[in-house]
Structure 1
Amino acid sequence: MKGGKKMRFRPCIDLRNGKVVQIVGGTLTRKKGKAPVTNFESIKSSRDYAEIYKLDNLTGGHVIALGPGNQEAMIDAVSAYPGGLQAGGGITPDNALRFLDAGASHVIVTSYVFSAGKVDMERLKLLVKTVGKERLVLDLSCRKRGDDFWIVTDRWQTFTDVTVNPETLARLSGFCDEFLVHGVDVEGRMRGIQTELVELLGKHAPIPVTYAGGVSTMADIDTVERLGQGRVDFTIGSALDIFGGTLPYAAVIKKMENSAK
């Protein structure tokens, strides 16, 4: 991770009931009749967004299924951009190869590994055996409680007993290629980032890591770069104009092209 690592913009495609959406992360729940707060639902398909990202040569983005009914839309996206997108949401050893074979560069896993509030090492080892460390991303999405950031599962509603700290990052880095970390408390709210979390990741993540949550201005992007020491990549959802927001997608692309020069 040393020696000229450049922060990258990682695009996203979030899916609910087969549709491309942007939601307020903390409102996602399994409760019947209680829908999450939705900022945006697109008339464009997951494939349409994948083709946009392919045209702009953006790699390492993620397609996330927010609940059931999204597998075909996930397949459509990763097959439209082979090797360009990661697939997550309900991934297990039984279905992981389907998404990889369809074109996903990696699979992203949370709940299968963080089971019953703990890291299930046997499950993690089985995943590594099934897909390979180099094609596995661990989702360490977290919420703040007290002074710490605690990994959450079950649609971000259930706290585990695992915190995102230097020890956790070091231990789990031996089993995956990257981390994806949503700051769930600010996800979809477009009110700024969780600066402490970005700083923690910048200092202590030993492998590539993508931060998601609250990025809504060019200044936020600059803050991620500064606090993350150029080592933390970022994604933007609800704030982008392609998802109904006000931050121009084209301007973000231009900014990243200029910073790469």
Structure 2
Amino acid sequence: RRWASLGSDCLHIIDLDGAIQGVRVNAPILERMVEELDLFIQVGGGIRTRQDVVSLLETGVDRVIMGTAALERPEMVQELSEEFGSSRIMVALDVKKGRVTTEGWQRTLNQQAVVLGQLFQEMGAGSILFTNIDVEGQQRGIDIVPTRELVQALRIPVVAAGGVSTLADVFSLREARAAGAVVGTAIYTGRMNFLEALQALKRKEEVVRY
């Protein structure tokens, strides 16, 4: 409700308990949020099966973020994109030291984000959520290089997360042609003023829906 009152029209939710445990333990809370908030809501974390995705979409979630499930069964991305539309299916690529991780960042794969991004693009994913774990939550700023490389390699939108802590970071990502930026720690700690950031983006006409 707070973010909606400040002018937000999109809410990004990651169920960290679900991501680690592999079960959507916070489903009741999410259902209440969908019911009570008039916002575009995208959700990830703990999504392991096709039914998990279907249940979320039927609950009223606007977009589902697939991570481990997509990496284990890439064909499921294609099936769901064809059934529900690619705009409702986002694939998360969480990268640590250049390698994609899975299961709530607990397991590292011998795969690079660009290669997997191209795979999921062909499978019909509507967008990619790229998280740079190396700088996530540290409020030290972003590392623009891996994000730029992924954006340049793909035709579908790439939303960046990890280290976004100032308005300058957000503008750097826009210059790199990222479709959006996920800001968490910085706004909860007060380092970035959400309302000021939103107003600055609107002045530059850079608030878009991907």
Query: Is the pair's TM-score, using the shorter chain for normalization, greater than 0.5?
Result: yes
Residue equivalent to 1:53 = 4
Unaligned runs of 5+ in 2: 19-24
Specify which of 65, 68, 86 is matched with residue 108 of structure 1. 65
Output the CA distance in 1 between the equivalents of 2:117 and 2:156.
9
Q: Give 1:77 deviation, angstroms.
A: 2.3
Output the CA distance in 1 between the equivalents of 2:94 and 2:193.
26
- Indicate the RMSD between aligned Cα atoms, in angstroms: 2.2
Specify which of 61, 69, 79 is matched with residue 35 of structure 2. 79
Q: Deviations over 1:47-95 (max 9, x none)?
A: x35xx33761523x42110024311222222333456011111222112
Q: Secondary structure at the match of 1:161?
A: coil
Q: Is the 8 A contact 2:127 2:156 kept in 1?
A: yes
TM-score, normalised to structure 2's length?
A: 0.83
Q: Give 1:151 deviation, angstroms.
A: 1.3
Residue equivalent to 1:62 = 12
Unaligned runs of 5+ in 1: 1-47
Higher relative contact order at CA 8 Å, sep ≥6: structure 1 or structure 2?
1
Between Structure 1 and Structure 2, the one with more helix by share is 2
Output the CA distance in 1 between the equivalents of 2:51 and 2:8.
31
- Closer/same/farther in 2, CA of residues 122 and 222 from structure 1, 3 Å limit: closer
- One-letter amino acid of the structure 1 residue matched with residue 14 of structure 2: I
Q: Secondary structure at the match of 1:141?
A: strand
Output the CA distance in 2 between the equivalents of 1:89 and 1:141.
12
Q: Is the 8 A contact 2:4 2:39 kept in 1?
A: no
Residue equivalent to 1:160 = 109
* Percent of aligned pairs sharing the same letter: 24
Between Structure 1 and Structure 2, the one with more strand by share is 1
Q: Give 1:155 deviation, angstroms.
A: 0.8
- Closer/same/farther in 2, CA of residues 54 and 72 from structure 1, 3 Å limit: farther
Output the CA distance in 1 between the equivalents of 2:198 and 2:143.
23
Q: Secondary structure at the match of 2:87?
A: helix
Q: When the two structures are aligned, how many residues end up with a matched partner?
A: 198
Residue equivalent to 1:121 = 74
Specify which of 158, 161, 182 is matched with residue 209 of structure 1. 158
Output the CA distance in 2 between the equivalents of 1:55 and 1:247.
14
Q: Secondary structure at the match of 1:67?
A: helix
Q: Give 1:218 deviation, angstroms.
A: 1.9
